[in-house]
């Protein structure tokens, strides 16, 4: 017996719709749509601007992709949606209030100290287990509160839940993505009332929490003819934080397996049974995010391929049609051929957070820090922007500071469109936590919308 499913996968720089056919022995994937995800800058009065997501453009592209998937396979059993974390849409009586803000918008700068004045950083970590990032949802909501926008809303939906609401009319908050907001208790599994009160989030602003694997509804009658080939296809929650879905598809076969999920961000970590909310974990800025089947993804966020994707935009804007660098495989192959030393810089420097001319910023950082800048051109700059010492330091930091064992690393990369695993034997730290549970079967059995219950 085979089952067909459609997956909507929204990344911070691109999106795609994938048709998957699952049989007892294999999985076949077909990309039916791929589209860019480009933020838009909008004037907002008093000479200021705001960085937003083009959520309506994404919605249109998703619809075209699902329609194409239904034409290819009229028997699709379920649709699932995942996306990047932390961002959301505010609604009033079912209508969207403006375009959702991009997490890299600079409005969060003033919101962070305001939240920390009410709840210090160490208290937030103790309550949520979430590492401090200035764009966590809790800070964005504080910015909306201060701007007067939050008071207009009667609902907030994280991006995958917003898409799900538009597809079905049903409002839910999927739990793995909710864990990235900085307001969810990893102990109770519910919203932390003290944090909601401190930020001014009214009760009921977020829809009820649901687990991955929940069928929330079917395509609306107004959408079924175009998107479902006339069928009211069910929509099922997946690990709607894209990293949760990426990790559940990686063959982590014992408690010593670590993963690197590499996309716009590189996320380095492992799965554990319970959150690790200790002073050493907070000092190392490790985070505890919800995983599928009730697991906890204990990981560190590291700047990933964001620098490369922004550099490519800069090079493409200045290039002729014949010399654009949009072919990622060719660009990386050319970068790999660069011989000799290349510039090594701190990819976590805050200057690299907003969108913009990354090759220029890398050059300026190198000049300021007495490092020879990369030679002009995509080849050497790409070679430099993909060699960050922080990626290799993170697993050893995890073992050293948090006393977690790790002996095997698996890499999942949506940007590179490949998955590989490599075995190694790094030193094992004493006092490792107990096993996170039974080993996980290969990805073909697990990474789909219509999952069965976890093994007992």
Residues noted as catalytic? 242
Residues with Cβ within 8 Å of 195's Cβ and at least 6 positions away in sequence, in order, are 119, 124, 127, 128, 138, 182, 183, 201
Residue 5's closest CA among 70, 85, 72, 78? 78
How far apart, in whole angstroms, are the C-alpha atoms of residue 347 and residue 362? Answer: 9
CA angle at 50 for the pair 146 and 244, rounded to the nearest 5°:
85
Residue 18's closest CA among 2, 27, 37, 5? 5
Phi, psi of 30 (to 5 degrees): -140, 120
- Residue 139 contacts residue 108 (beta carbons within 8 Å): yes
For residue 57, give Cα distances in angstroms to 36, 244, 356.
Answer: 10, 25, 21
The H helix count followed by the E strand count for the chain is 15, 19
Mind giving me the DSSP string for 131-186?
PP-TTSHHHHHHHHHHHT-GGG-SEEEEHHHHHHHHHHS---EEHHHHTTSS-B-T
Mind giving me the DSSP string for 53-64?
--HHHHHHHHHH
Residue matched to tokens 């999106």: 15
Phi, psi of 325 (to 5 degrees): -100, 20
The H or E element spanning position 48 is none
The half-sphere exposure of 131 on its side-chain side, counting CA atoms within 13 A, is 19
Token pair of 188 as six digits: 């109770």
Rounded to 10 deg, the angle between the 55-72 and 159-168 helix axes is 60
How far apart, in whole angstroms, are the C-alpha atoms of residue 277 and residue 433? Answer: 13
């Amino acid at each position: 017996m085979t089952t067909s499913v459609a997956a909507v996968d929204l990344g911070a720089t691109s999106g795609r719709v994938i048709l998957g056919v699952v049989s007892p022995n294999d999985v076949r994937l077909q990309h039916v749509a791929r589209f860019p995800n480009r933020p838009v800058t909008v004037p907002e009065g008093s000479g200021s601007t705001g960085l937003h997501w083009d959520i309506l453009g994404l919605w249109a592209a998703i619809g075209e992709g699902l329609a194409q998937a239904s034409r290819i396979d009229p028997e699709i059993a379920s649709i699932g949606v995942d996306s990047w974390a932390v961002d959301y849409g505010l609604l009033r009586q079912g209508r969207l209030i403006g375009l959702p803000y991009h997490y890299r918008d600079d409005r969060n700068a003033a919101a962070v100290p305001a939240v920390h004045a009410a709840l210090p950083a160490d208290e937030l970590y103790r309550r949520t287990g979430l590492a401090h990032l200035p764009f966590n949802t809790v800070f964005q909501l504080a910015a909306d509160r201060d701007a007067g926008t939050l008071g207009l809303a009667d609902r907030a939906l994280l991006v995958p839940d917003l898409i799900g609401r538009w597809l079905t009319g049903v409002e839910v908050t999927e739990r793995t993505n909710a864990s990235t907001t900085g307001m969810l208790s990893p102990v109770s599994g519910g919203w932390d009332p003290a944090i909601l009160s401190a930020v001014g989030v009214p009760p009921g602003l977020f829809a009820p929490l649901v687990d991955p694997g929940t069928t929330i509804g079917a395509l609306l009658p107004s959408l079924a003819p175009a998107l479902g080939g006339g069928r009211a296809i069910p929509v099922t929650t997946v690990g709607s934080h894209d990293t949760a879905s990426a990790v559940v598809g990686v063959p982590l076969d014992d408690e010593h397996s670590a993963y690197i999920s590499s996309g716009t961000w590189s996320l380095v970590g492992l799965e554990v049974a319970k959150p690790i909310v200790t002073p050493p974990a907070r000092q190392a800025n490790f985070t505890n995010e919800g995983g599928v089947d009730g697991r906890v993804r204990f990981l560190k966020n590291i700047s990933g391929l964001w620098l490369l994707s922004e550099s490519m935009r800069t090079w493409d804007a200045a290039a002729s049609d014949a010399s654009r660098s949009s072919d990622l495989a060719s660009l990386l192959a050319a970068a790999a051929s660069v011989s000799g030393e290349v510039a090594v810089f701190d990819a976590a420097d805050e200057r690299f957070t907003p969108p913009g001319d990354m090759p220029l910023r890398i050059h300026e950082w190198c000049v300021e820090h007495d490092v020879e800048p990369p030679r002009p051109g995509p080849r050497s700059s790409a070679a430099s922007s993909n060699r960050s010492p922080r990626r290799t330091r993170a697993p050893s930091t995890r073992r050293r500071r948090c006393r977690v064992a790790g002996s095997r690393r698996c890499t999942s990369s949506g940007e590179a469109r490949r998955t590989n695993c490599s075995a190694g034997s790094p030193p094992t730290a004493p006092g490792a936590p107990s096993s996170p549970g039974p080993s996980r079967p290969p990805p073909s059995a697990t990474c789909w919308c219509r999952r069965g219950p976890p093994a007992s």
